[in-house]
Chains A and B, each alone.
Chain A
């Protein structure tokens, strides 16, 4: 393991958002834009590249230069966006197939569960006929009216037709409460994020290979991910690294990463109304708030304060941040889901040491008592991780997330701008979404979709159950008729290129 964090990554080349969620930049705005004049857009790119935030500040301790900027800007493009800028066909074809086809592709939408109200044809942005070319993400230190006005000024000054680009959608965010750090349903969020190996702090457990996030580095299989190449003669300024083992070509993808952007609208009232109602069907559960909190915590896998159910099955644990992500299921005595149900949101999106494919079938999946087996499972689940960078939008339904008030809250538009980075869209984001989250047969379940993301998807079949496996003295319990509490309102697959790739684009066709 590398003892000098970041030393093997080309930090000057990697856009900052890939490496860092900019937690101290509490204000953020995302702007989708279209390229209307390629020549002007390329000139604009050339002029803004060096004003974007790259990862160089991570080379030194925080108090030494280079510092992170007060306003961090990052740029990403969709496949049509790269085409509009004039990237050669050979490179356009070198991107991964999901990126080329786009998030709104109908076959992809079916597989990812984007149907009904979430169907791409109904999206506010990114759907068919409303293509997005690029994303400008802007982050500032101050979530005050003046702070947001400053972000707006940055955007308004640069995304102008004179620069060959035109805004198509502006997405605002709200800061997460710095103490509670909860998402709209009222649960502490942003706890679990794997660390890129070269940047990981020593001793932290949740680490994935650099090439699981960044092109140009070895992935979990020890291979370099497929990356787009360009003929070396088109790189006249020599801003790209030579392609590995391919003379005459340069690597356009190196130090870049695929960015998934989904606007997920949350129906907070429907979630809590359901929980309050469904809890009454479970024998022995306390009435009122206490029972509702108990059931909702099973659905999520954490108590509202973020403490994992698997460690604290009866009541919320102490709110100690460093312990929130530091657990495995079997090692907590919960190999079969008697504490944290197998179908709970956080368990199915990151099963950790759960013995897949079917934990309760030990003949098939092996016994969780077998340490080798658990090690193998952890190695397999590490191939399906994503690095999340999302932010909330819309005002919280209640400032302190009181359950009774969430249950009766208004209908205002609120949710999560879900952003995640990965190097292999098929094997990482899409796998987690389609095989783990919305799949009602995940891990030997029969009709249990992700209670937050997946209820009542028409494909593979409408499913709306949630099963809580039994333990000693307590039979397996189920609740039925889960509502859909999250709908997709927009989305696109982006690629966040390296500094060199942006400079190459700026000179494209010149």
Chain B
């Protein structure tokens, strides 16, 4: 049984992996909740920065009602992407909620106190009750992705500092051959790791901590088809899938799609304020949080098809994309997930991405429209797709406007490393790994080139 404690273990020895959870709760008192979340954003240091929690990114979002559904609710969503020593999702999530309930109890009690069914104040064992409440609100994702899997916060920070130490050394190093330069860097790091706390636990004479081999993992790419094949064996989904080609043609022909002009020409002050609220929550650090909520399209079969499409995206993501640091060919996502809520009628998407929204959405359009079409084409007003996976997001202005129209502001967003992009994290790991396992002569040039 692994221990929960994350900090004292040298990063090299702990088999830490990343896990994610989402808790949803119906909101009873929206105004005080929003006020609390605003105050939380202004408080420093964040309770989520507690090293014992091992949180990479956390967010709290108020999700408005779906105005078209009489029985729709306002929801609070809490997302945490965290380090865990547990190999199973269920234990990892339970342990993380236990830790949060113990270490951030007052904060979370105040926040979830605005939500439906929260145990009244003064109850005995408030920590245990808080944890039980949060666990009851866990919602599984339909598909998810990690951009730098299997690296703990400690490791990410160590590798960032290591790269900085090497670059500082190189600034004044004399020119010499790459082999000699590499050995001198290694000697320097070896000596410094004995005294510099930034390098605590680093031993370049031991093998680098292993990461799953991307070549091996990419062989699992074909598993993306499995959900459709497995589902074909089930009696109730089989008719829907057999009917799929016909349904797709129908949908392609008749589905209402987002009309940028129609929406934009009707913009009111309320719409402008909504856009402004989203913009206010963006561009405060290297990473941004995108929260997107869209209802499913009407009609039978949508949910089944969406679940299968997501299972496909998820299989490929878990077995391939996570190990190459790209979702599709999008290189700028730390953590992303989709999940269904409100009786499977609404689809929620969370993404922790690098740089500006325009750059991120541009990546969607330019690099991975097919994957996005799979994920979203069963949702309301999505740009017209052809054969489910094609076109769609390629319609640049429509796709970007659709995304913005269904985006909601992220009230609170926490990042453990506001200065690091996925690209930098993965590059730092590459540099560090080769420092342990000396690269071949040809690889040395590549190693030195990575030090940029």
A273 to B338 Cα, complex, angstroms = 52
Q: Is the CB of B450 within 8 A of A361?
A: yes
Tell me if B208 counts as interface (CB < 8 A to partner A).
Answer: no
Tell me if B276 counts as interface (CB < 8 A to partner A).
Answer: yes
CB-CB < 8 A to A380: which residues of B?
A: 366
Q: Choose the segment among A2-10, A21-29, A68-76, A222-230 that binds chain B (4+ C-beta atoms closer than 8 Å).
A: A222-230
Shortest A193–chain B CB gap in Å is 22
A161 to B284 Cα, complex, angstroms = 44
Contact of B172 among A111, A283, A459 (CB under 8 A): A283
Most buried by B among A223, A229, A364: A364
**A interface, by DSSP: helix, strand, loop or mixed?**
loop
Q: Choose the segment among A31-39, A196-204, A426-434, A493-501 that binds chain B (4+ C-beta atoms closer than 8 Å).
A: A426-434
Interface string of A468-504 (1 = CB under 8 A from B): 0110111111100000000000000000000000000
List CB contacts (< 8 Å) of A205-244 with chain B: 221, 223, 225-226, 229
Taking A357-B332, A360-B427 as contacts, is the C-beta distance between A93 and B267 under 8 angstroms? yes
Contact of A364 among B163, B325, B452 (CB under 8 A): B325
CB-CB < 8 A to B359: which residues of A?
A: 431, 434-435
Contact of A336 among B170, B394, B424, B449 (CB under 8 A): B449
Tell me if B236 counts as interface (CB < 8 A to partner A).
Answer: no
Tell me if A194 counts as interface (CB < 8 A to partner B).
Answer: no
A286 to B385 Cα, complex, angstroms = 61
Identify the closest chain A residue to B360 (Cβ).
A435
Tell me if A160 counts as interface (CB < 8 A to partner B).
Answer: no
Identify the closest chain A residue to B450 (Cβ).
A360
A358 to B332 Cα, complex, angstroms = 11
A460 to B415 Cα, complex, angstroms = 12
Tell me if B253 counts as interface (CB < 8 A to partner A).
Answer: no
Tell me if A97 counts as interface (CB < 8 A to partner B).
Answer: yes
A472 to B180 Cα, complex, angstroms = 12
Q: Is the CB of A477 within 8 A of B170?
A: yes
Identify the closest chain A residue to B329 (Cβ).
A364
Interface string of A342-368 (1 = CB under 8 A from B): 100000000000000110111110000
Contact of B358 among A364, A430, A446, A472 (CB under 8 A): A430
Q: Choose the segment among B17-25, B49-57, B257-265 that binds chain A (4+ C-beta atoms closer than 8 Å).
A: B257-265
Taking A357-B423, A467-B452 as contacts, is the C-beta distance between A226 and B167 under 8 angstroms? no
A444 to B427 Cα, complex, angstroms = 8
**A-B contact number at CB 8 A:** 157
Q: Is the CB of B452 within 8 A of A475?
A: no
Tell me if A439 counts as interface (CB < 8 A to partner B).
Answer: yes
Tell me if A337 counts as interface (CB < 8 A to partner B).
Answer: yes
CB-CB < 8 A to A122: which residues of B?
A: none
Tell me if A64 counts as interface (CB < 8 A to partner B).
Answer: no
Tell me if B314 counts as interface (CB < 8 A to partner A).
Answer: no
CB-CB < 8 A to A439: which residues of B?
A: 355
Tell me if B69 counts as interface (CB < 8 A to partner A).
Answer: no
A478 to B324 Cα, complex, angstroms = 29
Q: Is the CB of B395 within 8 A of A362?
A: no
CB-CB < 8 A to A117: which residues of B?
A: none
List CB contacts (< 8 Å) of B310-343 with chain A: 324-326, 331-332
Shortest A425–chain B CB gap in Å is 10
Tell me if A158 counts as interface (CB < 8 A to partner B).
Answer: no
Shortest A106–chain B CB gap in Å is 8
Tell me if B171 counts as interface (CB < 8 A to partner A).
Answer: yes
Tell me if A90 counts as interface (CB < 8 A to partner B).
Answer: yes
Shortest A116–chain B CB gap in Å is 16
CB-CB < 8 A to B362: which residues of A?
A: 383, 427, 431
List CB contacts (< 8 Å) of A94-128 with chain B: 94, 97, 105, 107-108, 110-111
List CB contacts (< 8 Å) of B249-286 with chain A: 260-261, 264-267, 275-276, 279-280, 282-286
Shortest A226–chain B CB gap in Å is 6
Tell me if B291 counts as interface (CB < 8 A to partner A).
Answer: no
Shortest A102–chain B CB gap in Å is 12
Contact of B452 among A337, A430, A434 (CB under 8 A): A337
CB-CB < 8 A to A444: which residues of B?
A: 423-424, 427, 452
Taking A360-B452, A439-B355, A441-B421 as contacts, is the C-beta distance between A459 and B283 under 8 angstroms? yes
Taking A342-B452, A361-B450, A441-B286 as contacts, is the C-beta distance between A226 and B423 under 8 angstroms? no
Q: Is the CB of B423 within 8 A of A358?
A: yes
CB-CB < 8 A to B276: which residues of A?
A: 107
Tell me if B35 counts as interface (CB < 8 A to partner A).
Answer: no
CB-CB < 8 A to B397: which residues of A?
A: 223, 225-226
Taking A281-B171, A431-B362 as contacts, is the C-beta distance between A460 and B424 under 8 angstroms? no
CB-CB < 8 A to B178: which residues of A?
A: 472
Most buried by B among A110, A380, A427, A467: A427
CB-CB < 8 A to B285: which residues of A?
A: 459-461
A441 to B353 Cα, complex, angstroms = 13
List CB contacts (< 8 Å) of B405-450 with chain A: 418-419, 421, 423-424, 426-427, 430, 445-446, 448-450
Tell me if B174 counts as interface (CB < 8 A to partner A).
Answer: yes
Shortest B13–chain A CB gap in Å is 27
Identify the closest chain B residue to A480 (Cβ).
B171
Tell me if A40 counts as interface (CB < 8 A to partner B).
Answer: no
Q: Is the CB of B395 within 8 A of A223?
A: yes
Tell me if B244 counts as interface (CB < 8 A to partner A).
Answer: no
A476 to B332 Cα, complex, angstroms = 25
Shortest B171–chain A CB gap in Å is 5
Taking A223-B396, A444-B424 as contacts, is the C-beta distance between A107 and B283 under 8 angstroms? yes
Interface string of B353-368 (1 = CB under 8 A from A): 0111011001001100
Tell me if B67 counts as interface (CB < 8 A to partner A).
Answer: no
CB-CB < 8 A to A472: which residues of B?
A: 178, 445
A475 to B282 Cα, complex, angstroms = 37
CB-CB < 8 A to A90: which residues of B?
A: 265
Tell me if A180 counts as interface (CB < 8 A to partner B).
Answer: no
Q: Is the CB of B423 within 8 A of A94?
A: no
Taking A357-B423, A360-B449, A476-B170 as contacts, is the C-beta distance between A435 and B358 under 8 angstroms? yes
Contact of A476 among B266, B424, B451 (CB under 8 A): B451
A462 to B239 Cα, complex, angstroms = 58
Q: Is the CB of B260 within 8 A of A475?
A: no
Identify the closest chain A residue to B170 (Cβ).
A475
List CB contacts (< 8 Å) of A416-472 with chain B: 426-427, 430-431, 434-435, 439, 441, 444-447, 459-461, 467, 469-470, 472
A47 to B449 Cα, complex, angstroms = 62
Q: Is the CB of A470 within 8 A of B427?
A: no
CB-CB < 8 A to B284: which residues of A?
A: 110, 459-460
A445 to B354 Cα, complex, angstroms = 13
A105 to B280 Cα, complex, angstroms = 10
A226 to B259 Cα, complex, angstroms = 11
Interface string of B282-318 (1 = CB under 8 A from A): 1111100000000000000000000000000000000
Contact of A93 among B265, B331, B395, B450 (CB under 8 A): B265
A456 to B314 Cα, complex, angstroms = 40
CB-CB < 8 A to B332: which residues of A?
A: 357
CB-CB < 8 A to B394: which residues of A?
A: 221
Tell me if A145 counts as interface (CB < 8 A to partner B).
Answer: no
Q: Is the CB of B264 within 8 A of A460?
A: no
Q: Is the CB of A469 within 8 A of B452?
A: yes
Tell me if A178 counts as interface (CB < 8 A to partner B).
Answer: no
Contact of B286 among A107, A361, A383, A461 (CB under 8 A): A461
Tell me if A284 counts as interface (CB < 8 A to partner B).
Answer: yes
Most buried by A among B164, B174, B283: B283
Tell me if B211 counts as interface (CB < 8 A to partner A).
Answer: no
Shortest A428–chain B CB gap in Å is 10
A358 to B446 Cα, complex, angstroms = 13
Contact of B356 among A105, A360, A434 (CB under 8 A): A434
A434 to B362 Cα, complex, angstroms = 14
A-B contact pairs, 6 of them (CB 8 A): A281-B172, A364-B426, A435-B356, A441-B421, A459-B284, A472-B445
**Other than the known A435-B358, A474-B175, what 4 A-B pairs have Cβ atoms closer than 8 Å?**
A94-B264, A469-B452, A472-B445, A476-B171
Closest 8 A-B residue pairs measured CB to CB?
A107-B279, A475-B170, A460-B286, A435-B359, A111-B283, A441-B421, A473-B175, A360-B449
